[in-house]
Amino acid sequence: MQRRPTIKDVAARAGVAPSTVSRAFAHPGRVNAHTAQEIFEVADELGYHRAPAAPPSHRPRTRAVSLVVSDVTNPFYSRIILGAHEAALEAGYSMVLTHSSEEGDTEQQILERTLDLVEGVLLASSRMPAGAIRKIARQRPVILLNRRMPETPCVLIDDARGVELAAQHLAGLGHTDVTYMSGPHASYADGVRWQALKRIADELGIRVRRTNPHPEPTMEAGYAAARLIADQRTTAVIAYNDALGVGLIKGLSALGFSVPEAVSVVGFDNVRLSDVVSPGLTTIAAPLQMQGQTGMRNLIAMVGGAHLSSDPLVLPVSLRERESTAPPRTIR
């Protein structure tokens, strides 16, 4: 009979100490995100599974956890959902998926109705006010994705670095006038990106402006914003997400403006949509599936009694250059 793999086998294959493997499973937030990911991948290859710790007795044992996203139709969330689902399944948990249509009040109502069904809550880009999140966190373990609160564990994308990479790329091509197409007003990531863009604009010597096309950052909103962008005579746009960027490209084309000849466009997130549109969308790639996995593993560790640091776990980003950016033409 084949011997079951042990924690020492995983450690040897991953090139880390057994204590690091143990900590990755019991307290994921205390291990470097890339190291933890390598450990989990090796564990999957070897068939190693750690029995989940028993949760405190006062919590209901439903073996279910909740993932709440702001808009399930937004392609940004597909990889997060996949990663979270994989991590929940790996730990023997069911995942209850709901979405709030970008409405904080709806999100709070959904959670209040479903809280008795789950042992923990993973909030992806929550639009609820901080007080509402604290109320939920007093009743169940909570992990935040793309939102930071001092007392709550969170897994973030490096939004500031992402918008810096986008601005540096455009400045390097010769653009001096850049418009930022913003996201929902309650978005934590949107605020971080705008503040970082204003800071680096001064360093790069470029002008930046902000426009809010629609409360929901969809392709339709990007398409509708094309006339505004054309009237601004800006030479480059950084979109809050790829959906806005793709919609803008389509809208500009419908008005007779080609991308990148008339306007360069940079998106954010690197969802699959960005690679199939023509021209391909230059974008900031974020490890969304890893974010979903990490957030869910941290949540299940908390359900099992782990006490995680509230210091944010920040995942790195990179620039994916495609055909939607080029040096600016002379003034049209």
Please tell me the CATH code under which domain 159-286 is placed. Answer: 3.40.50.2300
Give the three-state DSSP class for 270. Answer: coil
- pLDDT tens, residue by residue, 228-252: 999 988 999 999 999 999 999 999 9
Q: Which of 34-43, 174-183, 318-327 has the lowest mean pLDDT?
A: 34-43
The H or E element containing residue 245 is: helix 242-254
For the chain, the domains span: 7-46, 64-156+288-316, 159-286
Nearest CA to 74 out of 314, 269, 324 is that of: 269
Higher pLDDT, 226 or 70: 226
64-156+288-316 and 159-286, same CATH topology: yes
Backbone angles phi, psi at 242, to 5 degrees: -65, -35
The one-letter amino acid at 311: D
- Residues 314/148, Cβ–Cβ less than 8 Å: no
Nearest CA to 224 out of 214, 215, 209 is that of: 214
The one-letter amino acid at 77: Y
Predicted confidence at residue 67, as pLDDT, reads 96
- pLDDT tens, residue by residue, 79-126: 999 999 999 999 999 999 998 877 888 888 888 888 889 999 999 988
The one-letter amino acid at 40: F
Query: Which overall architecture, per CATH, does domain 64-156+288-316 show?
Result: 3-Layer(aba) Sandwich (3.40)
Cβ-proximal residues to 112 (8 Å cutoff; 6+ apart), any chain: none
